[in-house]
């Protein structure tokens, strides 16, 4: 790769159970993005990448990237695509845009993640059936293996292998939900203490309702630019200094590792760290937006991303090291647990948070003290794929 | 604007969409199982005969699950069906107490879903006749085969497990 690439800013809709269609959300997210960067308009966009997981199932619509182009008045002359990588679709879109700009194919890209998931409470079974399709539907989804019981296995096995405690899971969920109380667009905005996590219904033991991210409508957008263009619109941007992905040859139960770790997260992060010149992630990364789809996920990620030793992820939160004023601020935005998880929009919103943390434009309550290096992580589907991006306030 | 009415505003024509439809094929979680529809029909044929089987590569001896038509280890397609043990151990499990997926109406909540270790392979499966509080990692379970009632025009079968008594 030859050219430096920056995320210069962006915007997002309010997230939650929205009285809005997929197309409404795409328009709101696009407007918020362009409004945030007055020097960039639809006429400047050369590449459009739309993260969207199941518009076919949730909104009965396909070919959604051209739909966004129409709704936002964007004529695309270089690259247009929708990305689908389950819960990492937003980061996959970021990665494509980064590569296209780095390779010199284009200079300005819009990455927009959009998901409409709430179809009304009476249609929740329809939503659940769509979510059970990310594993092998014929042999795993068919057993009613939706996300909550699947990630409950990880919690059970991590407790079994390493002695991780129920209280440690609650500390993660309470941290992120409380962080989200300071995030204006978040789906869940209440300060919550750890006892309230286990007071919530036990929906897939050992996981309770509040250990799970939400069913969320929302959109988020960011603008990526080549160095020359970025310098014209902002003094402070998030430079992409490393990006790694790792996928194992396994997506169904027999072909996954032992449900207490994610070797692919370790590989993907190592690849990104090598590119970014990071030797000691705990010392060098100031702010991390990582994929807490369930409380247990964040604990495993502390280990696989190199913040904690194997099996010590529970101790890491118990020692207070991942709070906003800790050794590494993990999910100051509130994570998926607090903000909700509109699948295709999540990775984009995480990238926007890191960018705004560098720019100092988030609310004071969740501003990390002078961050210069940030991390973005998403897992997808069965956890067989992990995507990691390193962002820096200074270009390499 | 010159005209403020549409052509039939006096009497709206009614069109209709169905309020209910039968479970569409693409929302049916169970695959069609016959030779006409899938190249792994032998897996389902064997299940009907009471045997849980999977494919093994005749060239590199890799055992697969789910069954394949191409070996992911060596890309060979000379595969044979071999029997799997009908007894195994619970490797991990949880109990679904809400959030029942559409099209799985036979899965009355709560239900237990587990990773079962059969030795050569692990698979996910429903554990019938058990609740979460009764079970522990390592508990022995044994095969149970169920016949599926549903929209297909042929008999369909699937595997589950139950605790060993």
Residue B80: alpha-carbon gap to chain centroid:
22
- A-chain CB neighbours of B69 within 8 Å are none
The two tokens of residue B118 are: 């059969």
Asked, for residue B17, whether it belongs to a domain, the answer is: no
Candidates B116, B113, B50; CA nearest to B87 is B116
For an interface test with A, give the residue of B20, B32, B54, B101 to mutate (most A CBs within 10 A).
B101
Number of H helices, E strands in chain B: 1, 7
pLDDT (mean) for A46-61: 96
Query: Would you call the peptide bond into A246 cis, given omega within 30 degrees of 0 as the criterion?
Result: no
What are the C-alpha distances in Å from A256 to residues A205, A229, B117, B121, B143?
A: 21, 43, 13, 11, 22
- Structural domains of chain A, ranges and CATH numbers in brackets: 5-120+216-233 (3.40.47.10), 146-210+241-392 (3.40.47.10)
Residue A254 with chain B: CB contacts under 8 Å: 64-66, 121-123
Distance of CA A199 to the CA centre of its chain: 27
Question: Cβ–Cβ of B99/A124 closer than 8 Å?
Answer: yes
Do the strands A373-380 and A287-289 form a parallel or antiparallel pair, or are they unpaired? parallel
CA dihedral of residues A202, A208, A209, A215 (deg, nearest 10): -120
The verdict on residue B68 lying in a domain is: yes
Check A148 against B99: CB less than 8 A apart. yes
Q: Which residues of chain B does A131 touch, with a Cβ-Cβ cutoff of 8 Å?
A: 101
State the average pLDDT over residues A153-176: 98
Q: For B67-138, where are the alpha helices, taking DSSP H only?
A: none
Query: Within an 8 Å CB–CB cutoff, is residue B102 touching chain A?
Result: yes
pLDDT of residue B106: 64
Contact A134, A381 (CB under 8 A): yes
- Kindly state the average pLDDT of the residues A314-343: 98
Instruction: Looking at the complex, report in whole angstroms how far the Cα of residue B133 sits from the nearest Cα belonging to chain A.
Output: 10
- Is there a contact between B103 and A201 if contact means CB atoms under 8 Å apart? no
- Reading the block at residue B130, the tokens are 């058990």
pLDDT per residue over A248-281, tens digit each? 988 889 988 889 999 999 999 999 999 999 999 9
Residue B139 included in any domain: yes
B159 contact A CB<8A: no
Q: Is A272 helix (H, G, I), strand (E, B) or coil?
A: helix
Inter-chain residue contact B99 with A203, CB threshold 8 Å: yes
Q: Average pLDDT, stretch A106-114?
A: 98
Average confidence (pLDDT) over B46-59? 98
Complex-level ipTM: 0.94
Of A87, A212, A293, A339, the active-site residue reads: A87
The whole-angstrom distance between A273's CA and the closest CA on chain B is 30
The span from the first CA to the last CA of chain B, in angstroms, equals 80
b/e per residue B61-79 (b: at least 16 CB within 10 A): eebbbbbbeebeeeeeeeb
Q: Centre a 10 Å sphere on the Cβ of residue A120 and count the other Cβ atoms it contains.
A: 9
User: Does any CB of chain A come closer than 8 Å to the CB of residue B74?
Assistant: no
A179's enclosing H/E stretch is helix A166-180
Which of A204, A249, A253 is nearest residue B123 as measured by Cβ atoms? A253
Q: Six-digit token pair at A21?
A: 């269609």
Residue of A nearest to B32 (CA): A138
List the domain range (segments joined by +) for residue B87.
27-163
Q: What are B114-132's pLDDT values in tens digits?
A: 999 999 999 999 999 999 9
Cα–Cα dist B124/A142, whole Å: 9
Q: Do A205 and B102 touch (CB under 8 A)?
A: no
pLDDT digits (tens, 9 = 90+) for A200-259: 999 999 999 999 999 999 999 999 999 999 999 999 999 999 999 999 988 889 988 889
Residues 6+ apart with CB under 8 A from A347: A51, A88, A89, A90, A91, A92, A93, A94, A113, A376, A378, A387
Report which DSSP code applies to A78.
S
Alpha helices (H) in A55-165, listed in sequence order: 55-58, 64-72, 89-102, 124-131, 147-162
Contacts of residue A233, defined as CB under 8 A and 6 or more positions apart, other chains included, come to: A8, A37, A39, A40, A225
The answer to whether residue B120 is domain-embedded is: yes
Q: Which of A137, A156, A201 sits opposite B92 (nearest CB)?
A: A156
Asked if residue B33 belongs to a domain, the reply is: yes
Q: Report the C-alpha gap between B48 and B114 in whole angstroms.
A: 22
pLDDT of residue B3: 65
- Alpha-carbon span A273 to A91, nearest angstrom: 17
Say whether A87 is catalytic: yes
Give the span between the Cα atoms of A310 and B86, in whole angstroms.
Answer: 34
Pairwise CB contact (< 8 Å): B96 & A203: yes
Contacts of A146 in chain B (CB under 8 A): 96, 99, 101
Q: Catalytic residue among A158, A291, A341, A377, which?
A: A341
The C-alpha angle with vertex B56 and arms to B51 and B58, in degrees rounded to 5, equals 130
In chain B, beta strands by DSSP E: 53-57, 79-83, 87-96, 111-117, 122-127, 140-148, 156-163
Bond prior to A206 in cis (omega within 30° of 0): yes
Q: Which residue of A has its CA nearest to B33?
A: A138
Closest residue in chain A to residue B160, using alpha carbons only: A143
CA end-to-end span of chain A, whole Å?
Answer: 13
Whether residues A143 and B113 touch (CB distance < 8 A) is answered with: yes
The reply to whether B14 falls in a domain is no
pLDDT of residue A251: 86
Does the annotation mark A339 as catalytic? no
In Å, how far is A203's CA from the nearest CA of chain B?
5
pLDDT at B4 over 70: no
Give how many domains chain B has, as a whole number: 1
Domain assignment present for residue B18? The answer is no
Give the C-alpha separation, B97 to B95, whole Å.
Answer: 6
Percent share of chain A, pLDDT over 90: 92
- Answer whether residue B8 is part of any domain: no
- Interchain proximity A149–B107, CB inside 8 Å: no
3-state secondary structure of A360: coil
- Are the C-beta atoms of A222 and A355 separated by less than 8 Å? yes
Q: Which residue of B has its CA nearest to A206?
A: B94
Contact B92 A205 (CB under 8 A): no
Model pLDDT, residue A1: 53
Q: How confident is the model at residue B2 (pLDDT cuts 50, 70, 90)?
A: low
Contact flag A129-B96 (C-beta cutoff 8 Å): no
């Amino acid at each position: 790769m030859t050219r430096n690439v920056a995320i210069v800013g962006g915007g997002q809709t309010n997230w939650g159970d929205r009285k809005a269609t997929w197309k409404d959300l795409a328009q709101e997210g696009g407007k918020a993005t362009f409004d945030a960067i007055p020097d960039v308009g639809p006429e400047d966009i050369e590449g459009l990448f739309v993260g969207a997981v199941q518009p076919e199932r949730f909104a009965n619509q396909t070919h959604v990237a051209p739909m966004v182009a129409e709704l936002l008045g964007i004529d695309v002359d270089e690259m247009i695509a929708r990305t689908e990588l389950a819960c990492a679709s937003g980061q996959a879109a970021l990665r494509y845009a980064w590569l296209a700009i780095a390779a010199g194919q284009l200079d300005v890209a819009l990455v927009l993640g959009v998901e409409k998931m709430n179809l009304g409470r009476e249609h929740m079974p329809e939503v659940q059936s769509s979510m059970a399709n990310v594993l092998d539907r014929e042999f795993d989804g068919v057993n009613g293996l939706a996300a909550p019981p699947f990630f409950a296995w990880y919690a059970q096995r991590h407790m079994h292998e390493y002695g991780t405690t129920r209280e440690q899971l609650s500390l993660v969920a309470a941290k992120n939900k409380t962080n989200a109380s300071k995030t204006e667009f978040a789906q869940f905005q209440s300060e919550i203490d750890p006892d309230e996590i286990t007071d919530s219904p036990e929906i897939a033991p050992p996981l309770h309702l509040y250990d799970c991210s939400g069913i969320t409508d929302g959109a988020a957008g960011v603008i990526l630019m080549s160095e020359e263009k970025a310098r014209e619109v902002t003094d402070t941007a998030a430079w992409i200094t490393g990006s790694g992905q790792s996928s194992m040859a396994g997506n169904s139960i027999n072909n996954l590792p032992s449900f207490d770790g994610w070797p692919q997260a370790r590989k993907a992060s190592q690849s990104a760290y090598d590119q970014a010149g990071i030797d000691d992630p705990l010392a060098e990364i100031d702010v991390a937006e990582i994929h807490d789809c369930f409380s247990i996920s964040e604990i495993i990620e502390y280990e696989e991303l190199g913040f904690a030793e194997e099996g010590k992820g529970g101790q890491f939160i118990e020692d207070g090291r991942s709070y906003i004023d800790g050794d590494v601020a993990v999910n100051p935005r509130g994570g998926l647990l607090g903000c909700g998880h509109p699948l295709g929009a999540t990775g984009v919103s995480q990238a926007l948070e890191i960018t705004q943390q560098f720019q100092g434009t988030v609310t004071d309550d969740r501003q990390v003290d002078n961050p210069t290096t940030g991390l973005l992580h998403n897992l997808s589907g069965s956890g067989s794929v992990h995507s990691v991006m390193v962002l820096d306030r200074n270009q390499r | 604007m010159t005209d403020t009415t549409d052509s039939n505003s006096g009497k709206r024509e009614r069109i209709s969409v169905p309020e209910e439809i039968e479970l569409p094929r693409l929302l049916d979680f169970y695959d069609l199982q016959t030779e006409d529809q899938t190249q792994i029909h032998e897996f389902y044929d064997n299940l009907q005969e009471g045997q849980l089987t999977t494919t093994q590569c005749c060239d590199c001896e890799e055992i697969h699950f789910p069954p394949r038509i191409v070996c992911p280890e060596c890309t060979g397609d000379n595969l044979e069906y071999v029997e799997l043990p009908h007894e195994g151990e619970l490797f991990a499990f949880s109990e679904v107490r809400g959030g029942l997926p559409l099209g799985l109406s036979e899965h009355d909540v709560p239900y237990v879903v587990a990773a079962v270790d059969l030795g050569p392979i692990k698979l996910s499966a429903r554990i019938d006749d058990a609740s979460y509080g009764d079970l522990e990692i390592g508990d022995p379970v044994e095969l149970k085969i169920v016949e599926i009632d549903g929209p297909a025009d042929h008999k369909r079968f699937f595997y589950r497990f139950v605790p060993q008594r």
